[in-house]
Amino acid sequence: MQNEKHKKMKKQEMKVFTMYEGWDAEKEKQKRSTLVGKTMLAGMENSTEFHAKREACIRKKYDADEIGQRILNGDGGSWIKEPYDPETIFQLDRYHIYQEILRKIRDKKAQNDIRSLFDERKMDEMLEYIQTYATSIESPEVADKSSKKARELYQYLSNNKEGLLPYNKRGITIPEPEEGIVYKGMGIQESQNCTVITLRMKHRRMRWSAKGANNLAKALYRKENKELVETIDRYTDGLIFTLQLQEIVETLSAAKAPKKDGKGNPYADRFNHHMPLFEAMQTASRKAFKKAFGY
């Protein structure tokens, strides 16, 4: 992260939310996974503001009183909670559980043992195993962090114990899906984060200000929600882009002025100039610009 003067700042977490109703039943028959009713939201706001925006996003699309059941899948972060519906079922994301096991435990056998206990849904035995393992590898060496990391894994899993068991393995009765929708296990969030946010905003030595990251996140999730064209139209009404295009065309026309005056063709320049916007691959954002220009 950086401030407005491009000075390096400490890291800040971007919050990403994906809402959906289930999976498309017909696509599942074709061995393709497609979410039904997917809507995304992302931003750099604090937890309170983001939760308010998230709830507004939900209520804009659904009657909150008619929602049969909310299931929340997250990485266990302190901001991931459901302040608006106490009946929400929380599930700790599978990807992050496996990731933390690999990060905190170096010994391959211990890794496999912990994963096996988790996959067999023996949560108490798994936590006891981690605790015993952490004690067994304690070392007087200050540089040896193995035991400390094992205890961190235990703390992470213990703090989120209520979400360790998959929601569909808890014997909980939830409303039947609507026609054309099927329910499956959770765990799509990391994939959504990667394809929509991470690939565009991380690595390649990029550094963002909080405001810049927030603005780009808005553009990315609105594009994913197929709301980008509507958003550009709402905020610009096409005026800014039309004026800029007019200025560009006038500049090009002046550069192409003939050495001798004549009647000429008033429409010739319009068709002879190359327009990169039209000749490039037509992405969603380029289509939005074309629409703003009136093409």
Do the domain assignments include residue 202? Answer: no
CB-side neighbour CA atoms (13 Å) of 150 = 24
Determine, yes or no, domain membership for 250.
Answer: yes
The single-letter DSSP state of residue 37 is S
Q: pLDDT means per 10 residues in the chain (295 residues)?
A: 77 92 95 94 92 93 92 87 83 94 97 97 98 95 93 96 93 93 88 90 86 92 89 65 56 55 53 62 73 66
Half-sphere exposure of 57 (CA within 13 A, CB side): 20
pLDDT of residue 146: 95
Residue 99 domain-assigned (yes or no)? no
Q: What is the pLDDT of residue 242?
A: 57
User: Is residue 168 included in any domain, yes or no?
Assistant: no
Domain count within the chain: 1
Inside any domain, residue 126: no
Nearest alpha-carbon partner for 186 in 76, 29, 74? 74
Predicted local confidence at residue 248, as pLDDT = 54
Tokens 């929380």, located at residue: 90
β-strand pairing of 39-43 with 181-182 = unpaired
Alpha helix (H) ranges present in 105-238? 108-119, 123-136, 146-159, 189-192, 199-201, 210-224, 228-236
**How far lies 149's CA from each of 95, 117, 153, 161, 163, in Å?**
18, 19, 6, 18, 21
In a domain, 199, yes or no: no
Residues with Cβ within 8 Å of 255's Cβ and at least 6 positions away in sequence, in order, are none
Query: Would you say residue 94 lies in a domain?
Result: no
- Host domain of residue 266: 229-293
**If we measure between CA atoms, which residue out of 100, 99, 130, 136 comes closest to residue 114?**
130
Any idea what DSSP says for residue 180? T
Is residue 253 situated within a structural domain?
Answer: yes
**Residues paired with residue 42 on neighbouring β-strands, in sequence order:** 16
Q: Tell me whether strands 71-74 and 89-92 are parallel, antiparallel or unpaired.
A: parallel
Which structure tokens are listed for 152?
A: 């961190």
Within the chain, what is the greatest distance between any pair of CA atoms?
Answer: 94
Residue 15 tokens, joined: 């919050």
CB within 8 A of 275, min separation 6: which ones? none
> Terminal CA-to-CA distance of the chain, rounded, Å?
38
pTM of the model: 0.74
